[in-house]
Amino acid sequence: MPSVDIIVPVYNEQDVLDVFRQRMNEVMSQLDIDWRVLFVDDGSDDNSLHKMQELHAADGRYGYLSLSRNFGKEQALTAGLDHADGDAVIVIDVDLQDPPELIPDMIAAWHEGYDVVYATRKQRQGESWAKKTTANWFYRILNTMSDTSIPKDTGDFRLMSKKAYRAVGQLRERNRFMKGLFAWVGYKQKQIFFEREPRAAGQTKWNYNKLWRFAIDGITSFSYLPLRFATWIGMMVATFAFIYGLVIIVKTLILGADVPGYPSLMVVILFLGGIQLTALGIIGEYLGRMFNETKQRPLYLVDDYQPPGFDK
């Protein structure tokens, strides 16, 4: 029988773990495959770990990998993928915003020969207009800038064959923009659609600050365009300044020196200062990321590991 590892990142989700198990059991019991669930506890400071221990004791198909602190969802997923060994892996959120009922479709597509089956949401229910619009912009900008095409409105919810998830596991960069990494590895990919539900319980861990960092991470790990953009603007302004310099020299030679010109001087200085700072900032974003990479720290640290088995 083919086997599937289900990887579930968990951060402070004590209220949904039981519901999650119920829904998962219901769906998986209809399928003719070996399955097990690995919760990755991303340093929860509520009762989540205790809940996972209970689930593990009650049902051996549920195991957990507990990280030493909160590393972020990307890192938690990577930890899960590193510990997986099934013929395929399914990555799913614990808050049931990714409906487990989609798993049979994913498995069917996998049996048809697809290596990656990813779920794209048709509608973003229960999300504000502002979030929808900014998300839209983000995907548009990201895809214009990067060479890897990253599907819109697609989260981490997906099935990957062993080939594909091992490939993702080989990418050891510290700035882990998972959607990008998943797309980067290629292989035969299939898109399926679903309606994203509101959270079953608990609260989202995202805020605008985090989303902004996430967006910058996405763009900087998949595109050099901002750096090139800085170069272009720099060159354009420099060319303009050079021509203007010539004009001033010629004018001074012909008409003599004229003292006025303070406003235009200020404008040029401020304008150039602004551009320089922006360019420096862009370089800084990349430099900071390079600094992070060169430290070669492990992506995550494991505190406790209770592997799940295929038997209850």
Catalog residues that contact ligand UDP under the rule CB under 6 A: 9-11, 13, 42, 70, 72-73, 76, 93-95, 97, 204-206
Residue 72: contacted member of Mg ion, ligand UDP, none (CB under 5 to 8 Å, by partner type): ligand UDP
Closest distance to Mg ion from the beta carbon of 268 (Å)? 49
Q: In terms of CB distance, is 97 or 175 closer to Mg ion? A: 97
Q: Measured from the CB of residue 41, what is the shortest distance to ligand UDP in angstroms?
A: 8
Residue 41 contact partner, candidates ligand UDP, Mg ion, none, CB within 5 to 8 A by sort of partner: none
**Tokens describing residue 48:** 């989540």
Q: What's the alpha-carbon Rg for the chain, to the nearest Å?
A: 25
Residue 191 sits at φ, ψ, to 5 deg, of -105, 130
Whose structure tokens read 């919760």?
39
Beta carbon of residue 95, minimum distance to Mg ion (angstroms, whole number): 4
Beta carbon of residue 154, minimum distance to ligand UDP (angstroms, whole number): 12
CB of residue 75 vs ligand UDP: minimum separation in angstroms? 8
* Environment class of 105 (CB within 10 Å of its CB; exposed 0-12, middle 13-18, buried 19+): middle
Report what 73 binds from ligand UDP, Mg ion, none; CB cut-off 5-8 Å by kind.
ligand UDP
Closer CB to ligand UDP, 98 or 115, in the complex: 98
Q: Which does 24 bind (CB under 5 to 8 A by kind): Mg ion, ligand UDP, none?
A: none
Which partner, ligand UDP, Mg ion, none, binds residue 136 by CB below 5 to 8 Å per kind?
Answer: none
CB of 196 to Mg ion, least distance (A): 9
Between residues 203 and 252, which has the closer beta carbon with respect to Mg ion? 203
CA atoms within 13 A on the CB side of 192: 22
By C-beta, is 95 or 115 nearer to Mg ion? 95
Q: Which does 13 bind (CB under 5 to 8 A by kind): ligand UDP, Mg ion, none?
A: ligand UDP
* 3-state helix/strand/coil string of the chain: CCEEEEEEEECCCCCCHHHHHHHHHHHHHCCCCEEEEEEEECCCCCCHHHHHHHHHHHCCCEEEEEECCCCCHHHHHHHHHHCCCCCEEEECCCCCCCCHHHHHHHHHHHHCCCCEEEEEEEEECCCCHHHHHHHHHHHHHHHHHCCCCCCCCEEEEEEEEHHHHHHHHHCCCCCCCHHHHHHHCCCCEEEEEEEECCCCCCCCCCCHHHHHHHHHHHHHHHCCHHHHHHHHHHHHHHHHHHHHHHHHHHHHHHHCCCCCCHHHHHHHHHHHHHHHHHHHHHHHHHHHHHHHHHCCCCCCCEEEEECCCCCC
Nearer to ligand UDP, 104 or 202 (CB): 202
94 binds, among Mg ion, ligand UDP, none (CB under 5 to 8 A by kind): ligand UDP
Pick the closer one to ligand UDP by CB: 92 or 230: 92
Shortest approach of Mg ion to residue 96 CB, angstroms?
8
Nearer to Mg ion, 11 or 222 (CB): 11
**Binding residues for Mg ion, per CB under 5 A?**
95, 97
The binder of 206, among Mg ion, ligand UDP, none, by C-beta within 5 to 8 A per type, is ligand UDP
Q: Output 54 or 127, the one with its CB closest to Mg ion.
A: 127
Distance of closest approach, residue 93 Cβ to Mg ion, in angstroms: 5
The residue with tokens 């969802």 is 73
